[in-house]
């Protein structure tokens, strides 16, 4: 069940002070008016507002039901028919009246279904399953088109799905025993029992999370189903979710510095952030279970079976305050650990660079995970544009002959930083054009005549490079300042959002406030006049990708805004010896890639992946299933070709390692991130392009 639709991007920084402004708050009274206030706000502030009518209502109905049961595992055709006839054209009226009857009815029906399916789970999982003589099979659709006809069909479909889960676990356990000669061999009955037990644990945990969703969770979920109908990047952020967004944007928070998860009702410590309060205190370790939380000398509160978000709120807190954690260690011992909270810096969130050496020539690579910025401080705090400038200067001091800016999987962030960062590579001129809902168009300019770096430049992108990444890549491409290398296009998100707070009074559900709305208020365009919306940025050099044949990005999102064009901005192409050989380098790279066996094999694998995407059919007989899996494995071998990296080395900058002093953890942080570039075919092509650019100067 997809409770929150997966969107593989961080949306564009909506806190931009020069182009985007937070608007007036919308004051609302009580929980029942949350949805009406949201629709009123979106009708007046959204870039492309919708009329709240029957058509809107039908879109919300479809979006909500797709989100709550996207695999069509819980509702039948009969149930859907009743819900549709009663609510599909009335949701707009409900919202205006402050009613949540549709939401309440669907959750009531879902809970009833969970109860009936739990009985099915027990019937299947409490006794051994005969996989040796089974003659059944199952077809699993990625996106089912129809709901089951009735309860009997639904439960039969569910039974097969549960059985297949057990079978797959059992098969993998049997295979693991065959391939691991050192492993003690367990009998079939033991393995079958383990497979059923693991499946039971997985399903119990899933159902428990669904049943524990409170009114706050349900209203938040419903509010997003409503807001997404305006466009996929307009969404409702309750307070805790907005806090997490801010952490993502700034790369820091105030707290203890531990990554937490929830396992079987316990809050589990997954990781301790190096340099954090927990790291310095030293007692809290990964694997510990947090059972109670106390504020300084206050009474401890039991957090077993508490929702993870609520427990995290108690554990986080202002710098300098104390939290006392009662933990259970892996050996069963109980300990109370006092920690003084501090500012936690998440180093993985920030820009970093390394030196690539190929035939005694040095090149630099800057990895930028997002366009982060801290707008909570006056004049802005730490931000990606300034950090990239620092990395550029370090690479220049190291004597590099070219720079690679890696924006792969960078989902965006601060628009202001994308504009400022573009200015690091050109003298002056427009970086992006922005249009408001009243058709006012403004070109955002780099007005600083200084150029931080004027040497050969390559920008790496992929399908998940979005928003601010697309702005920067497009600008460098339009100026012919750099060469863009990547998968056949980027994500295709060409819209700008801002946060608008929702004021509240007398809310029994949202005790810490209603939170904020993230609203699409503008659309951005390349300086050549085309929007990146839907079409993204097509690289100068296209690298074959495993996902080339699949529908990815903004085009695959429901309710997206369309592609269009405006007039070009005034700008002149970049003229410098460093990019003189741009066209030649592109031509040579395309020839090189077309002849590369690894890339040609990737093209074939992409076609095969597409053919397998829509649906899968599996036997539920163990022997036949093993044969099917072996056949798939054998077919995959025909497409498997190992890529061996070009003869080069990649190392951290000496100044970075020295800055870590004698701290072994920090030294490891400076070195370990570089491992992600091992056998990176795209990075190798970027190095070859820089080499060609230098030869043409």
**Which has the closest alpha carbon to 481: 472, 489, 490?**
472
Q: Write out the DSSP string of 69-130.
A: TTT--S--HHHHHHHHHHHTTTHHHHHHHT--HHHHHHHHHHHHHHHHHHHHHHHHHTS---
pLDDT at 402 over 80: yes
User: Could you give the maximum distance between any two Cα atoms of the chain, in Å?
Assistant: 77
Tell me the CA distances in angstroms from 273 to 263, 281, 310, 346, one per residue in order. 20, 12, 21, 7
Strand partners, 510: none
pLDDT at 244: 67
Positive or negative, the CA dihedral 14, 16, 19, 20 is positive
As a three-state string, the secondary structure of 285-354 is: CCCCEEEEEEECCCCCEECCCCCHHHHHHHHCCCCCCEEEEEEECCCCCEEEEEEECEEEECHHHCCEEE
**Which has the closest alpha carbon to 683: 640, 632, 649?**
649
Range(s) within the chain of domains with CATH label 3.90.226.10: 348-491+519-696
CATH for the 348-491+519-696 domain, from 3.40.50.300, 3.20.20.140, 3.40.50.150, 3.90.226.10: 3.90.226.10
pLDDT bin (cut points 50, 70, 90) of residue 27 is: very low
pLDDT at 500 over 80: yes
The arithmetic mean of pLDDT across residues 598-603, rounded, is 92
CA dist., res. 422 & res. 451, Å (int) = 10
541: tokens are 């050099």
Lowest average pLDDT, out of 266-270, 304-308, 691-695, goes to 304-308
Q: Which residues, 6+ apart, have CB-to-CB distance to 104 below 8 Å?
A: none
**Torsional class of 608: left (φ above 0), alpha (ψ -120 to 50), beta (otherwise):** alpha
Q: Express each pLDDT in 349-375 by its tens digit.
A: 899 999 999 999 999 999 999 999 887
The arithmetic mean of pLDDT across residues 443-455, rounded, is 94
**Which has the closest alpha carbon to 587: 643, 624, 540, 543?**
540
- Residue indicated by tokens 């019937």: 123
Residue 559 buriedness (CB in 10 A; 0-12 / 13-18 / 19+): middle
* pTM confidence score: 0.85
CA dist., res. 384 & res. 42, Å (int) = 30
Buried b (16+ CB within 10 A) or exposed e, 333-359: eeeebebebbebbbeebbbbbbbbebe
Report the topology of domain 252-345.
Pdz3 Domain (2.30.42)
pLDDT bin (cut points 50, 70, 90) of residue 277 is: confident
pLDDT bin (cut points 50, 70, 90) of residue 338 is: very high
**Torsional class of 39: left (φ above 0), alpha (ψ -120 to 50), beta (otherwise):** alpha
Residue 445 buriedness (CB in 10 A; 0-12 / 13-18 / 19+): middle
Neighbours of 573 (CB within 10 A): 10
pLDDT bin (cut points 50, 70, 90) of residue 507 is: low
Whether 466 contacts 9, CB under 8 Å: yes
pLDDT bin (cut points 50, 70, 90) of residue 250 is: low
pLDDT at 512: 63
pLDDT at 650 over 60: yes
* Mean pLDDT (the chain, rounded): 87
Report CA 324 to chain centroid distance, whole Å: 32
Range(s) within the chain of domains with CATH label 2.30.42.10: 252-345
Report CA 112 to chain centroid distance, whole Å: 32
Q: Which residues, 6+ apart, have CB-to-CB distance to 187 below 8 Å?
A: none
Q: Express each pLDDT in 82-128 by its tens digit.
A: 999 999 999 999 998 888 899 999 999 999 999 999 999 999 999 99
pLDDT at 209 over 60: yes
Tell me the CA distances in angstroms from 130 to 127, 199, 214, one per residue in order. 10, 16, 39
CA dist., res. 517 & res. 242, Å (int) = 9
Backbone angles phi, psi at 274, to 5 degrees: -60, 135
CA dist., res. 104 & res. 594, Å (int) = 56
Buried b (16+ CB within 10 A) or exposed e, 232-269: bbbbbbbbbbbbebbbbbbbbbbbbbbeeebeeebbbb
CA dist., res. 624 & res. 511, Å (int) = 55
Strands 495-505 and 516-525: antiparallel
CA dist., res. 473 & res. 490, Å (int) = 10
pLDDT at 8 over 50: no
Neighbours of 105 (CB within 10 A): 14
Neighbours of 296 (CB within 10 A): 11
Q: Which residues, 6+ apart, have CB-to-CB distance to 208 below 8 Å?
A: none
The arithmetic mean of pLDDT across residues 552-561, rounded, is 92
The SS3 assignment for 615 reads: strand
**Which has the closest alpha carbon to 581: 454, 441, 668, 482?**
482
The arithmetic mean of pLDDT across residues 303-331, rounded, is 87
Whether 473 contacts 483, CB under 8 Å: no
Q: Write out the DSSP string of 28-75.
A: EESGGGHHHHHHHHHHHHSSS----SHHHHHHHHHHHHHHHTTT--S-
Helices 415-422, 384-397: crossing angle, 10 deg rounding: 30
443: tokens are 């070109």
**Which has the closest alpha carbon to 274: 345, 324, 380, 188?**
345
């Amino acid at each position: 069940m997809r409770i929150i639709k997966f969107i593989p991007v961080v949306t564009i920084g909506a806190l931009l002070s020069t182009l985007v402004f937070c608007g007036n708050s919308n004051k609302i009274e009580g929980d029942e008016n949350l949805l009406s206030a949201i629709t009123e706000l979106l009708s007046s502030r959204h870039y492309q507002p919708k009329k709240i009518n029957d058509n809107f209502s039908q879109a919300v109905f479809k979006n909500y039901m797709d989100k709550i049961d996207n695999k069509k595992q819980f509702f039948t055709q009969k149930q859907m028919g009743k819900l549709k006839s009663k609510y599909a054209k009335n949701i707009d009226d409900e919202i205006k009246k402050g009613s949540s009857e549709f939401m309440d009815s669907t959750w009531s029906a879902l809970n009833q279904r969970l109860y009936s399916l739990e009985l099915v789970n027990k019937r299947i999982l409490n006794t051994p399953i005969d996989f040796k003589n089974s003659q059944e099979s199952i077809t699993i659709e990625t996106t089912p088109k129809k709901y089951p006809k009735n309860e009997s069909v639904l439960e039969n479909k569910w039974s097969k799905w549960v059985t297949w889960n057990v079978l797959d676990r059992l098969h993998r356990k049997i295979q693991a025993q065959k391939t691991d000669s050192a492993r003690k061999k367990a009998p079939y009955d033991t393995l079958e029992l383990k497979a059923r037990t693991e499946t039971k644990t997985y399903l119990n945990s899933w159902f428990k999370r669904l049943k524990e969703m409170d009114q706050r969770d349900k209203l938040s979920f419903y509010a997003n189903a409503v807001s997404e109908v305006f466009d996929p990047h307009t969404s409702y952020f309750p307070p805790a979710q907005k806090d997490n967004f801010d952490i993502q944007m700034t790369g820091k928070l105030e707290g203890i510095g531990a990554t937490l998860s929830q396992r079987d009702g316990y809050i589990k410590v997954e990781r301790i952030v190096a340099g954090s309060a927990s790291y310095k205190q030293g007692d809290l370790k990964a694997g510990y279970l947090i059972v109670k939380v106390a504020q300084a000398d206050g009474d401890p509160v039991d957090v077993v079976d508490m929702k993870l978000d609520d427990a995290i709120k108690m554990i986080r807190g202002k710098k300098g305050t104390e939290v006392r954690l009662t933990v259970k260690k892996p050996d069963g011992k109980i300990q109370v650990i006092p920690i003084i909270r501090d500012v936690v810096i998440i180093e993985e969130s920030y820009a970093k660079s390394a030196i690539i050496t190929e035939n005694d020539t040095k090149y630099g690579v800057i990895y930028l995970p997002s366009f982060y910025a801290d707008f909570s401080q006056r004049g802005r705090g730490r931000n990606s544009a300034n950090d990239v400038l620092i990395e550029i200067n370090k690479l220049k001091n190291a004597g590099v002959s070219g720079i690679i800016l890696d924006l792969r999987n960078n989902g965006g962030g601060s628009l202001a930083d994308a504009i400022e960062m573009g200015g690091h590579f050109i003298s002056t001129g427009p970086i992006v054009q922005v249009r408001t809902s009243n058709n006012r168009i403004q070109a955002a300019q780099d007005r600083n005549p200084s150029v931080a770096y004027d040497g050969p430049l390559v920008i790496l992108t992929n399908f998940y490079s979005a928003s601010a990444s697309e702005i920067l890549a497009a600008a460098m491409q339009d100026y012919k300042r750099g060469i863009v290398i990547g998968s056949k296009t980027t994500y295709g998100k060409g819209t700008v959002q801002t946060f608008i707070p929702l004021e509240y009074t007398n809310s029994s559900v949202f005790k810490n406030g209603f939170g904020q709305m993230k609203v699409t208020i503008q659309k951005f365009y390349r300086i050549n006049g085309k929007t990146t919306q839907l079409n993204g940025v097509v690289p100068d050099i296209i690298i074959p990708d495993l996902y080339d044949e699949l529908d990815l990005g903004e085009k695959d999102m429901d309710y997206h805004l369309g592609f269009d064009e405006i007039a070009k901005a005034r700008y002149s192409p970049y003229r410098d010896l460093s990019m003189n050989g741009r066209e030649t380098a592109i031509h040579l790279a395309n020839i090189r890639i077309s002849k590369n066996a690894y890339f040609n094999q990737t093209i074939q694998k992409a076609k095969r992946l597409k053919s397998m995407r829509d649906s899968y059919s599996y036997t539920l007989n163990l022997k036949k299933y093993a044969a099917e899996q072996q056949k798939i494995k054998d077919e995959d071998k025909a497409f498997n070709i190992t890529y061996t990296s070009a003869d080069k080395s990649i190392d951290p900058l000496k100044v970075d390692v020295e800055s870590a002093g004698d701290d072994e953890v920090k030294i490891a942080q400076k070195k370990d991130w570089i491992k992600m570039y091992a056998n990176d075919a795209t990075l190798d092509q970027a190095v070859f392009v820089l080499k060609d650019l230098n030869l043409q100067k």
